[in-house]
Amino acid sequence: MKQAFHKSQEHLFALAGNPNCGKTTLFNAITGARQHVGNYPGITVEKKEGFYSLDGRQIRLVDLPGTYSLTAYSLEELVARDFLVHERPEVVINIVDASNLDRNLYLTVQLMELGVPVVVALNMMDVAEGRGLRIHAEELSKRLGVPVVPTVARRGEGKENLLRVAVEMAQSERHWEPLHVSYGPDVDPVLKDMEKIIGEHGFLTDLYPARWTALKYLEEDEQVKAKGRQANATVSEHLEALAAKLTEHLQKTLDSYPEAIIADHRYGFIAALLKDGVVEQRLKGNRMHLSDQIDRVLTNRFFGPIVMVAVLYAVYEFTFTYSELPVQWFEAAFAALGRWAEQAIPEGPLRSLLVSGIIDGVGGVMGFVPLIFFMFLAIAFLEDTGYLARAAYMLDRVFRVFGLHGSSFMAFIISGGIAGGCAVPGVLATRTLRTSRERLATLLTAPFMNCGAKVPVLAMLIAAFFTENRAQMLFLLTLLAWVFALVLAKIIRLTILRGPSSPFLLELPPYRIPTFKGLMIHTWERIFQYIRKAGTVIVAISVLLWALMTYPGLSASEKAAFDVERQAVLETLSEHHKDLLTSEQKTDLPPQVQEAREQLRAIDKREAATALQSSLAGRMGTALEKITRWCGFDWRTNVALVGGFAAKEVIISTLGTAYSLGELDTEENTSLSERLRQDPHWNPLVAFAAMVFIMLYSPCFVTVTCIVKESGSWKWGVFSMVFNTTVAFIVATAVYQAGRLLGLGS
């Protein structure tokens, strides 16, 4: 075709459909690995884009968020609608679930009313057939007036044909032709009047068809009304008055509202469309579906909760068991990289920056990658099978008491609801919540849980001061975390995120076996975002924290003083012994050399501790003593807590440096426990206050960056740091002061 040559070789198609209709599966089947995920500018709804080439043509496919309609109540709906209106894709491929045609066509009708060229993908034909439904695609196509292509996304069937039909439609350069649905004797005349006014004034006609704008005014669509007021206030007022008059009339005569009548007629339109000859029910009778039978057990009053606990435990076991080894590999790889850098680069600030700042910082974050991978894999599995929706359904009543949503529980569990999770995937898991108030409340409180990084710190303190009942202590702290998270969620929902709970209308999709490819793509997308973050924000903050704990360092005279001490030790040795000291030999050293080595090491450690104290972080710690003495912390604890902002494990290593233990392994913290036990400043009361503080204070910076990203604003990241730390301080102070009043801890 010669003509086609002049036309654009790239087509922009959008993919729209209900949640659970197989949209993502089809998208993945079409684009495979050629896709990327981003965010729609300014908001957190994911934007997925993929490419496909067909007969030398590039097709850019944008996956719109799954929606039930095109109203503008949720972010997803708004995004989908705005994309269609502003980006004007050449064709919208609308995926409908063939086994649930009437509800899925509700969106189709709205797309057609908007006028955008539609191709319907009649998906899940296999499921429909399994239920004894036969759908005549050609007949449906004839009645809808748009192409209908049967597909089975799970097996990739029909995708090529679907794209061919879409390309054909794009090439035919069909104009936007809005569908006219009749809304009955009360609404139609008003619509007609409104259409006329809109047409005469060219009111928003560059964006929407006239009838569509009129409909939105009747449906009380705030976004369109706001746009209208901006465009032409007089026309907008006129339209609003007409809508108000109709509303009044309908209330008087039918005790109903325009939006209800409109919805009724849309469904009526669909019912008429599907009547006689489109859907053929071959198996009669009310056969119970397999999904319903499974639900009889899985959401049963008695078995449901038991199964749920078992599932949670399995997720937990799966994640932590299988990620243990790869996490060790990652850690070993970064340790090796650090050692290599230590040898390759001469000693000095540059080496310190690279090793202690960047490699340790990024390594600490990347070390979590396998853990997050398995966690996401488990969640993707639960999500894709449909179990996650059941769990939300069962738990909604409990979480509602605290102003949360049934879907909040997964985020809590993952963050460490059973001690040992991680708040980063926990925060990312709040994506399964659709509504914003509950979602934010969950985002902000999930980090109170005892994540895997807090556990070793708590374990070290428990080992030092609560030797008698270790297990009970950790259990108590886990319970406390839940109590604090839920109570604070309630407080947040009653104050800054006040408002009624959002409607809980959740579809329980039929149980399905997820596809391997779908699981992998799902998991990879999220992992990739995490890794990308490690390369940017995290490097910056690692460097900042490193600088805080390194500079300004010791003054020349202080350094000289340590050198003098070292010199003094060296002078006790003969030349031969000095050579032995600097040699690599480790064993069979003469006692003098052994002793000198010990002394030198002790001097190094004291120098490190002094350097830490005089660093900016150390000075901050000392300055903070004025405040933190209320909860019983000295400067050393304060510095460790500042370092803990990088990652909670750092608390142990920093305490180690501050108590001049030198390099400390988190695994071998017995010597630190011993040291703390002997230090007069520490006692069980201080330890308990410290544990509560560590449990509650600011999330680590990886979590904070995730909160920023997920909430779409820096405001919430800063809020979580300030709010959590304030709560931690108040609670730890209360614990410490109350304990002192009771005469504990001295």
Partner 1 sequence: MATMLLRHMAPNQAGVIVKVKATGELGRRIRDMGLVPGTPIQVQGRAPLKDPVAVRVRQFTLTLRNNEADYILVDVEKIP
The dihedral through the CA atoms of 380, 34, 50, 169 has a sign that is negative
Residue 21, marked binder: yes
Work out the number of other CB atoms within 10 angstroms of the CB of residue 361: 24
The minimum distance between CB 157 and partner 1, in angstroms, equals 22
Determine the angle formed by the axes of helices 470-494 and 436-445, rounding to 10 degrees: 150
Whose Cβ is closer to partner 1: residue 397's or residue 601's? 397
User: Could you tell me how far CA 436 lies from the centroid of its own chain?
Assistant: 13
591 is in an annotated binding site: no
- 699 closest CA partner among 648, 633, 736, 638: 648
Q: List Cα–Cα distances, 5 to 2, 9, 57, 175, in angstroms.
A: 5, 8, 10, 20
- Least distance (Å) between residue 504 CB and partner 1: 5
3-state SS of 321-344 is HHHHHHHHHHHHHHHHHHHHHHHH
Query: In the complex, what is the shortest distance from the CB of residue 307 to partner 1, in angstroms, rounded to a whole number?
Result: 11
Nearer to partner 1, 63 or 219 (CB): 219
Q: Is 384 annotated as a binding residue?
A: no
Residues 6+ apart with CB under 8 A from 8: none
Q: What burial letters (b/e) apply to 525-552, b meaning 16+ CB within 10 Å?
A: bbbebbeebbeebbbebbbebbbbbbee
Contacting positions for partner 1 (CB under 8 A): 68-69, 71, 73, 99-100, 102-103, 106, 219-220, 257, 259-260, 263-264, 267, 291-292, 295-296, 299-302, 304-305, 393-394, 396-398, 400, 406, 502-510
Q: Binding residue per annotation — 517?
A: no
* 638 annotated as ligand-binding: no
Nearer to partner 1, 303 or 528 (CB): 303
Contacts of 565 (CB under 8 A, 6+ apart): 603
- The smaller minimum CB distance to partner 1, of residues 97 and 649, is found at 97
Determine whether the annotation assigns residue 454 to a binding site: no
> DSSP readout, 133-155?
EEE-HHHHHHHHTS-EEE-BGGG
Nearest-approach distance from CB 706 to partner 1, in angstroms: 28
**Shortest gap between Cβ of 317 and partner 1 (angstroms)?**
24
Question: Could you tell me the smallest distance in angstroms from the CB atom of residue 440 to partner 1?
Answer: 18
The answer to whether 22 is a known ligand-binding residue is yes
Comparing CB distances to partner 1, the nearer of 108 and 319 is: 108
Q: Between 177 and 507, whose beta carbon lies closer to partner 1?
A: 507
**Residue 19, annotated ligand binder?**
yes
For residue 719, give both structure tokens. Answer: 């809020």
User: 204 Cβ partners below 8 Å, 6+ apart?
Assistant: 198, 213, 224, 227, 228, 231
For 434-455, give the secondary structure using H, E and C. Answer: CCHHHHHHHHHHHHHCCECCHH
| 17 belongs to an annotated ligand binding site | yes
Q: Residues 6 or more apart from 611 whose CB is under 8 A from it?
A: 550, 553, 554
Task: Provide, rounded to whole angstroms, the least separation between the CB of residue 503 and partner 1.
Answer: 5
CA gap 101, 120 in Å, rounded: 11
Q: What's the CA gap between 736 and 533, in Å, rounded?
A: 38
Nearer to partner 1, 133 or 366 (CB): 133
Is 665 annotated for ligand binding?
A: no
Give whichever of 109 and 691 is closer to partner 1, judged by the CB atom. Answer: 109
Least Å distance, CB 103 to partner 1, is 4
Nearer to partner 1, 106 or 412 (CB): 106
- Smallest separation (angstroms) from partner 1 to the CB of 505: 5
Q: How far is CA 83 from the centre of its chain?
A: 23
3-state DSSP assignment of residue 514 = coil
Q: Is 24 annotated as a binding residue?
A: yes
469 labelled binding-site residue: no
Q: What are phi and psi of 158, to 5 degrees?
A: 85, 0
> Binding site for GTP, residues?
17-24, 42-46, 63-66, 123-126
> Binding site for Mg(2+), residues?
28-29, 31-32
